[in-house]
Structure 1
Amino acid sequence: MFQKLTVFGLVGLLTILPHFPAAGETRGASGSKKSSATQKASSSQAKKVRRGQSTKTKPSSTPKQQTQARAPELTTVSVESLPALAAQVIQGLERVSTWGIMVVDVTSGQPLVEHRAHDSFIPASNRKLFTGALALDQLGADFTYRTYLYHTGQIEPDGTLRGNLIIRPQGDPTFSNRLVREAQVPTDWIFRDWVEKVRAANIRSVAGELIVDCSEWDLNDLRPKGWSQRILQDTYAPRTSPLTLNENLLQMIAKPGSPGSPAIIEFAPPAEGYPILNRTVTGGKRSISVRLTPDERVEVTGSIPTDSKPIPLPEIPCDNPTLYAAAVFRSHLHRAGIPVNGNLRVETRKGALERPTTSNVLAVYISPPMAEIVRTMMKHSNNHFAEQIYVSISAVKRGRGGYSQTRVLEQDFLRRCGLPVSELRAEDGSGLSRLNNVSPASVCSLLVAMHRHPAAKEFFDSLAVGGLDGTLRGRMRNETTLARVHAKTGYIANVVCLSGYADTKSGRRFAFSFLVNNVKTSPDSIKNAQDRLCELLCRVE
């Protein structure tokens, strides 16, 4: 019998009932609180909410004109007056930005406001609306990723495994402690648990290899197009991979070696044997840095004083996340006294490895349900979650994970939703690509389709709520808009977008899309205008 463990309620590990496979099972926590989408915010509650802080942006090298949106202070707004009032809000801003606007009644499908509604715009993180909708449609709100650890060969009486250990991943983005932080577990808690499962199976050494089965992935199709070079060193743009850890970010620590020799570079968590370019020297002033080279290798350069304390290095996107994650697991095995004598490698050939069965599975990590994963991605605009979700859809549905295969599934889905596919270009799942293009009309068509979708509630609840949570916590906190706007923000250089739903006091719901490109003024000026437009929608009677 193998133990089956789960994190439940973010407080600890509890035993759960067995199911296939009969092996150690670790389940991700459903850590998020219930959505506040259904909360009613009264006038008195709205007044008690403290004022949020606007997002600060770095000053430009050249002065930018601050243009404020202005519109009449109104108690109510009629549908007939809405287009003119919306035009008044953006009138001054159109000199320093390009606006696309679409507003639709979700019940009737009637367009209420159209301004360049069929023009193409870069959507930034509004792209995540499409990724979330696709995941809920293709995989379902209750879908869970399953990452298996299993073995080949026999376990001898002395504890020697005469075979290999194999990890079979599905692209699960939750291999970290993001969704279980209240349980105060380390980012590699799943691998630590797996070591105990291996020990419980009476394995004391592995004669063979540690293999990651990537046969259901196209490893040459895991790089999105259109990501600018300047963001590739940034933690918000990690690589996509079949197996993940710590949201595919590397954490390293530099320690002094002997004088004149390279510094000692350690990984946190340990990943013994993982290759990096160590071009440091012990001695001299403290000056040490880390980067990804143009050929995408991790390079550490500089010097460290001989008497220096350990220096934590800045986090950086991992160059080979699958290999790194497996190296961390192998290090934990070695430190637990379970050596792996063979190589660490990735297998891409279909049919080359045995499949997991009830008799050979040692452990399985089961993620939180897709509804919760999508909610984390949307509310907090998590790029890692978005990219992993996107490429994993085709791995699960087609047995060939990658951007190209998922794009085919997305186009089929959008056609079913009645969207003009010709108005869209999708190059990633998060919206970091500047090659993504979409029209406000297409965004609203998606929103209307998801309003009628079987997963409508999960999609709606995944959006940030104005004045309450996620990326909208500090916006729209007045009495009119508080808790009445559920939307996705989007921001990259010169792009500020907002799309979602706005509810009136009478219960009428509008889908809206405000896509703004070529921004040559303060992003806050654009956000203020978008918030004012949402206020107009909430005042409609």
Structure 2
Amino acid sequence: MFVHPKGIGWLVILGLIVTVCIASSVSCTATAANGKGESYSMKQELDSYIYKEPKLKGGLIGVSIRQADTGKIIYEHMGNTRFRPASNMKLLTAATSISVLGKDYQFSTELRTNGTIKQGRLNGNLYLVGKGDPTLLPETFDMFAAKLKAMDIDHISGDIIGDDTWYDAVRLSPDMIWSDEHYYYGAQVSALTVSPDKDYDAGTVRLEIQSGGIGEKPQVSMSPKNNYIEIKNEAITVKAEQEEDLIIEREHGTNIVSVSGIIPKAKEPIKEWIAVWEPTGYALDLLKQALVKQNITWHGVVKSGEAPIESKLLFTHSSMTLAELLIPFMKHSNNSLGEILVKEMGKKVYGEGSWEQGIEALKRQLKRFGLNQEKLLIRDGSGISHVTLIPPTAITQLLYAVQKEAWFPSFIKSLPVAGDSDRQIGGTLRYRMPDLVVQAKTGTIYGVSTLSGYAEKSNKEKLIFSIMINNLIDEEEGKVIEDQLLEIIVDTD
């Protein structure tokens, strides 16, 4: 037996410490000591931080921590209290959609006609039928036109009709704040839509504003170039030492985007993504441009409508798989993708592409993962809602249950990796917690910061955690709190 140099008295003291720990049912360690030589468990450290942190005064915090292998809850603070999840809602949407639709699921877009092709003419209407694909890019429409050209079509004698009836006509989720609906994260949802780039913010255009000469208007460019959006440029270039104060917004109910305020001379271009009004028309505009490039003309009008059941299929385009789509969805916290996945689940399960039926399908699947639907209030798929309410224990239960699914490797691969500077890996955690082994989903809306996922302790023990902070004055302070809590969770026994 090892005897401490101080003698038998040390063993007596150690025995008393063990007795006190057992009697109080608190996990104590002889190695985790603070500056005063006192032993602290993870529970004590977390409780101390939560109750003493001044940034949490007047706010609410819920924490749930489980062992990853057993699902046993090892720490809880207001774990069964419902909180606004912000983008932690995407964990539920990702898990249920990949379960309902399958990891190899692909969205499709069709070119159809009610006519015939003869001597370079399509004698009838051309239908562009959207089925929810959020990955259609400007170059996809060039490909559509090239396919028509390859069919020897030089002229369309009828109309060009965009069919978005795969989903319902409700464009915005029920709790969308009116001031958010012109930003990329509040984009409208249509079964026929366009993404400006491979972040797949469907239903948006990208603006780039470059300063001009002092006293002159800056240059405003738009991608993709289109005739659907009108730019009203009222901004002015000022001296380089002045502070930038640009306002970029779309007028409600229109596609007029105004750029006003000041931009300093020689400043790096400012980029902003703006949501369009009615994405179906946006897609049709890009198709028109693509047809012109191929010298394909048409006789009729370009409009929205529905393809007849008996229409003939000319071409089908398929998206990437759902497993691949989860990467931009989760890494970049893409709201548009979340709402599209909800509507797609509704279409698959109940034959109706709506939020109402999609959320029913989502909740039905959550029951399979052991979540009590009666304790959840779910209003959308992205978490932008300030009405949605979920307790931290429900999120950790979900994260424990999905580990058993065959598609779990695709799910966990989609989660941001703390401290990895590669945007396609680190995502929204690429600048946070570089020294910790954490893979988790972030969440931020006004007054809310959340973080839930998987962490590995210094002794390699794997944990599941959910930290949900509500009623913050500054939601950015929530990220500091989350990172500090993770430090305690990982480093304390």
Q: Is the structural similarity TM-score above 0.5? A: yes
Q: Deviations over 1:146-197 (max 9, x none)?
A: 212233311112x010012122222112123xxxxxxxxxxx1111111111
Paired residues of 1:290 and 1:299 also in contact (CA < 8 A): no
Question: By how many angstroms is 1:439 displaced?
Answer: 0.7
Query: Which is worse superposed, 196-205 or 420-429?
Result: 420-429
Aligned residue number for residue 209 of structure 1: 159
Aligned residue number for residue 65 of structure 1: none
Change (3 A) 1:458 1:314: closer
2:389 and 2:257 map into 1 onto residues whose CA distance is 37
Aligned residue number for residue 477 of structure 1: 434
2:304 and 2:33 map into 1 onto residues whose CA distance is 62
Paired residues of 1:102 and 1:441 also in contact (CA < 8 A): yes
Question: By how many angstroms is 1:424 displaced?
Answer: 1.6
> The residue matched to 2:299 in structure 1 has which SS?
coil
Paired residues of 1:128 and 1:386 also in contact (CA < 8 A): yes
Output the amino acid matched with 2:125. Answer: N
Aligned residue number for residue 461 of structure 2: 508
Paired residues of 2:359 and 2:380 also in contact (CA < 8 A): no
Aligned residue number for residue 130 of structure 2: 169
Greater RCO (Cα-Cα under 8 Å, separation 6 or more) = 1
Paired residues of 1:334 and 1:340 also in contact (CA < 8 A): no
Instruction: Note the 1:142-541 alignment, pairs <5 A.
Output: 142-157=104-119, 159-176=120-137, 188-220=138-170, 222-245=171-194, 246=196, 247-250=202-205, 268-272=223-227, 274=228, 291-294=249-252, 296-300=253-257, 315-348=273-306, 352-354=308-310, 360-362=313-315, 364-468=316-420, 469-478=426-435, 481=436, 484-521=437-474, 523-524=476-477, 526-539=478-491
Output the amino acid matched with 1:118. Answer: N
Change (3 A) 1:155 1:189: same
Question: By how many angstroms is 1:518 displaced?
Answer: 0.7
> The residue matched to 2:320 in structure 1 has which SS?
coil
Paired residues of 1:378 and 1:462 also in contact (CA < 8 A): yes
2:118 and 2:281 map into 1 onto residues whose CA distance is 28
Whether 1:89 and 2:89 are equivalent positions in the alignment is no
Question: By how many angstroms is 1:128 displaced?
Answer: 0.8
Gaps of 5+ in 1: 1-70, 177-187, 255-264, 304-310
Gaps of 5+ in 2: 1-31, 197-201, 210-219, 239-245, 261-268, 421-425
Percent identity of paired positions between Structure 1 and Structure 2: 28
Output the amino acid matched with 2:141. Answer: F
Paired residues of 1:233 and 1:292 also in contact (CA < 8 A): yes
Aligned residue number for residue 18 of structure 2: none
2:441 and 2:34 map into 1 onto residues whose CA distance is 26
Output the amino acid matched with 2:130. Answer: P
RMSD between aligned alpha carbons? 3.1
Paired residues of 2:164 and 2:190 also in contact (CA < 8 A): no
Q: Deviations over 1:341-384 (max 9, x none)?
A: 22222235xx834355xxx323x322121111112111111222
Change (3 A) 1:438 1:313: closer
Larger Rg computed on CA atoms:
2
2:258 and 2:298 map into 1 onto residues whose CA distance is 31
> The residue matched to 2:363 in structure 1 has which SS?
helix
1:312 and 1:340 map into 2 onto residues whose CA distance is 38
Paired residues of 2:172 and 2:187 also in contact (CA < 8 A): no
Change (3 A) 1:253 1:381: closer
Change (3 A) 1:522 1:401: closer
Change (3 A) 1:335 1:73: farther
> The residue matched to 1:464 in structure 2 has which SS?
coil
1:340 and 1:270 map into 2 onto residues whose CA distance is 21
Output the amino acid matched with 1:91. Answer: Y
> The residue matched to 1:91 in structure 2 has which SS?
helix
Output the amino acid matched with 1:344. Answer: V
Output the amino acid matched with 1:223. Answer: L
Question: By how many angstroms is 1:215 displaced?
Answer: 3.2
Change (3 A) 1:118 1:163: same
> The residue matched to 1:174 in structure 2 has which SS?
coil
TM-score of the superposed pair, with normalisation by structure 2: 0.77
1:353 and 1:332 map into 2 onto residues whose CA distance is 26
Change (3 A) 1:330 1:384: same
Output the amino acid matched with 1:504. Answer: K
Output the amino acid matched with 1:415. Answer: K
Question: By how many angstroms is 1:313 displaced?
Answer: 9.9
Output the amino acid matched with 1:164. Answer: N
> The residue matched to 2:106 in structure 1 has which SS?
coil
Paired residues of 2:449 and 2:475 also in contact (CA < 8 A): no
The number of aligned residues is 421
2:471 and 2:270 map into 1 onto residues whose CA distance is 38
Change (3 A) 1:201 1:375: same
Paired residues of 1:97 and 1:521 also in contact (CA < 8 A): no
Change (3 A) 1:436 1:338: same
1:278 and 1:528 map into 2 onto residues whose CA distance is 39
Task: Pick the structure with more helix per residue.
Answer: 2
Output the amino acid matched with 1:471. Answer: T
